[in-house]
Amino acid sequence: MDLSGLRPAGGKRSSKRDRILEIFLGQKGHVTADELYDLVRREDPGIGRATVYRTLQWMVTAGIAHKVDFGEGRSRFEPSLRHPRHFHLICTQCHRSSEFLSSDIEAILEEVAAARNFATAETEIKLFGVCEECRTGVKAPTLDGAATELVFARDALRIAVATERSGLEFYSRAASLATDPRGREVFERLAEDEKHHLGTLEKRYAELIATDSTLEERPTFLFFKGAAQGIFAEGAEKLREGVDDLKALLIGIRCERDSHKFFKKYGDRFEDSEGKRIFLEFAEEEREHRDMLIKEYRLLQARLGVGRAARRTQVEPRTAQ
């Protein structure tokens, strides 16, 4: 891990600080300042408590660490390198915590903040309660430390696969409903594309699972409603209402745009990891599809002789982000 960029600008290098940082990053869970102090002491008894506190403080402002408060009357710290801001389930009995992420919740919170004209800097969600193990005594698959990175990649792939599947469904249906031969051809091409890509993703998923036999049974980290039916599901539903090719293309554009947005947003937020790569690659894929659909939309519009006025009121693809 390269930490060179993490020192404060103009700050001096300091072996002690490096030592503390190194030990901190080597921890899996959420450490308290004093726990870290003890750990550091064990390796280097010449380090003072104040230094640990000061280093922790610096790490937080530098964005290397996150301060989390589990209501114990003292702070805990977690490395932020691992994965992006997430939410916590905190067991009040064993004091361990597990993490999750929900894009749906984030979306709602964005709406709430917007409704109140509030500029959110940080979001905290904590569920306090009793974990499975403390209640039943049975050990359940956990999601600690190193696992999260892989689980995250797994969830990213699952979502991508679900999206691809619903995309395939959408384009197949659109193709079968298409009235214009050129329109049908476009939809068929896209369906073929999705099918091919689906295969690639599934292979990648299988490879990832093969890496770690426990991976598949670990709990979900990234919760996303769309994952169940896929982002295109709603669009596919709309096709049932009976739409013309132009309208179908438009729905496709919207779906691809939403899909792109979703994957881009998450991909951007993550630290470099397999999951990030999956998100960003997929986002790129969706952007390309969207562009292709926009092109086809314009061509079809021109061929059908639909005027500018209609184009203006119906869609402005250029401004679609």
Which residues contribute to the site for its own copies (CB under 8 A)?
69, 71, 89, 91-92, 98, 100, 102, 104-105, 108-109, 111-113, 115-132, 135-136, 140, 219-220, 223, 225, 240-241
Q: Does residue 242 bind DNA (CB under 7 A)? A: no
Which of 14, 93, 123, 200: binder of DNA (CB under 7 A)?
14
User: Which among 254, 262, 267, 235 has a CA at the least distance from the CA of 166?
Assistant: 235
**Torsion region of 305: left, alpha or beta (phi above 0 gives left; psi -120 to 50 gives alpha):** left
The 3-state DSSP class for residue 300 equals: helix
> Residue 17's binding partner, choosing from DNA, its own copies, none, with beta-carbon cut-off 5 to 8 A by kind?
DNA
Sheet of 31-32, strand order: 31-32, 76-79, 65-68
Residue 194 carries which side chain, given as an amino acid letter? Answer: E
Between 41 and 265, CB nearer to DNA = 41
Burial of 311 (0-12, 13-18, 19+ CB in 10 A): middle
Binding residue for DNA, selected from 15, 61, 319, 321, defined by CB under 7 A: 15
Q: How far is the CB of 70 from DNA (least distance, A)?
A: 11
Contact 28, 146 (CB under 8 A): yes
Minimum CB distance to its own copies, residue 91 (Å): 8
Kindly report the length of the chain. Answer: 321
Closest CB 248 distance from its own copies, rounded Å: 18
Minimal CA–CA distance to 156: which of 281, 69, 290, 33? 281
Q: Tell me, by CB under 7 A, how many residues bind DNA.
A: 25
What is the C-alpha radius of gyration for the chain, rounded to an integer number of angstroms?
Answer: 24
CB 198 within 8 A of CB 165: yes
Tokens of 168: 């395939």
Provide the token pair at 258: 């939403």
Closest CB 122 distance from its own copies, rounded Å: 5
Q: What is the DSSP letter of 155?
A: H
Query: Residue 126 binds which one of DNA, its own copies, none, with CB within 5 to 8 A depending on kind?
Result: its own copies
Q: Residue 32: name its binding partner from its own copies, DNA, none (Cβ under 5 to 8 Å by kind).
A: DNA
Query: 117 contacts which partner out of DNA, its own copies, none, CB within 5 to 8 A by kind?
Result: its own copies
Grouping H, G, I as helix, E, B as strand and the rest as coil, residue 222 is strand
d(CA 74, CA 267): 33
Give the other-Cβ count within 10 Å of 260's Cβ. Answer: 23
Regarding 32 and contact with DNA (CB under 7 A), the answer is: yes
Q: How far is the CB of 101 from its own copies (least distance, A)?
A: 10
Q: What, of its own copies, DNA, none, does residue 80 touch, CB below 5 to 8 Å by kind?
A: none
Of positions 1, 2, 5, 10, contacts DNA by CB under 7 A: 10
Among 6, 25, 39, 57, binds DNA (CB under 7 A): 57
Q: Is 74 in the site for DNA (CB under 7 A)?
A: yes
Could you say which of 55, 98, 166, 259 contacts DNA (CB under 7 A)? 55
**48 binding DNA? (CB under 7 A):** yes
Residues of this chain that bind DNA (CB under 7 A): 8, 10-17, 32-34, 46-51, 53-55, 57, 73-75
